[in-house]
Structure 1
Amino acid sequence: MTLEVVAQRMGVSIPDRRTVVGLALALVAAALVLVVTRPAATVPILVAGDDLPAGTPLAELDLDVRRVTDATGLVVGDDLGELGDWSLARPLRRGEPLVPSLLVPPAVHDAPAQMSLSVDAAQAVLGRLSPGDRVDVLLTTEVPGEPSTTRRIARDLFVVDVVVTPSAVGGERVDLLLAVDEATALVLAGSRPEDLDIVRVGP
């Protein structure tokens, strides 16, 4: 006895294949609608809550949180964290997002002058330096007939930028942009680059 005959005797109707297929397609369509209309995941970013000036610590400025689906290239988070002492390199209009390239670390404000220094890569950690690193500068002095002497002439300098380029005599040159005070700038300017060594130091 077939299922249809049993169902007829019991007074139960069995939907035909077209109905079953239609119901299945309707369920699939409903599932697709749920997937398509589901809100995309968002992440919080920081934006200017008002027109913000440059040079003022972020902790003293009016910042808002906005949620976006794509935070590429933006400052992600709903609070400043360790950025409270950082500042803006240029003013921001209300609603503009914070981006890392506009943020200036406090070390640059503590030593507002900037100075370039070019040395051979062998004298600068083989060029393995990055913006944000801190370095000491050592000066080696040689006097004929006497042992060479090395002393530290600059301590804990903030690296603003680094460019590594091929040297005309082979190897590579490391061009550093350093945040310095006036006294340090004078000492470095009076030293020969070939007598200097750059030492990367820890935080």
Structure 2
Amino acid sequence: MAVVAPEDATVEPVAARTLVPRPRRRRRGSLTERITLNLVVGVVAALLAFVLAAALLADRRETTTVAVARDRIAAGTPLTSDLVTSQEVTTDTGFAETLLPFERVGDGALVATRTIQGGEPLMRSAVGDAGTAVPRRVMSIPLDAAQAANGAVGVGDQVDVIVTSREGEARYVLSAAQVVDRSGDGSSGGLVGGTSGSDLVISVEVDEVQALELASAIETGSITVVRSTGVAAADGGPGG
């Protein structure tokens, strides 16, 4: 049986549902989109600061302090702090291990075994214990400039000395001897060339045997001095 609603009944309107849009989630950009110029500059600056700091620390670790002669130090002179100054060199320098550390110079416990020129770094081989080291002797040779490469021989050079007898026989008296002083033309040191007469005197380092050989050669023969700086010691003569 059908049910019929009464005619006077009122029908309540149904309110329309309001649709609220759901918030959209913001999509994160890719990594390349999120990296800004300021971020890149900041990272690079930090890396540069790190590299610079590491380099500075590395330089400090890789240097050593060595002794350098203030002025000329004669063979046999006790080494004291007032005769040298300090200088830093990098430890990767090829000859760094042959140099004398600055801290070893002080109370005269070491002596120079050969003449050391002013400004020259002290080599370990150029010093020895004061009680046991035997310093080199120094001997002078009077010459005409023409007998010594026209006078082009200076302090610090290496020379060979040849004696020629009256019979014309020549032999080496010294080979690779170090020139530690010179005088000529009224001055000491430097170069003298083109002068005449016995105007040049050079001083070389010798041992006791070489000193006797050289003295005999000066008295009995004609002396020729050969500048041999940078050349290996000559065969047939005692080393300097």
> Smaller-chain TM-score range?
0.3 to 0.5
TM norm structure 1: 0.47
Flag the structure with larger Rg: 2
TM norm structure 2: 0.41
Q: Give the structure with the higher percent helix.
A: 1
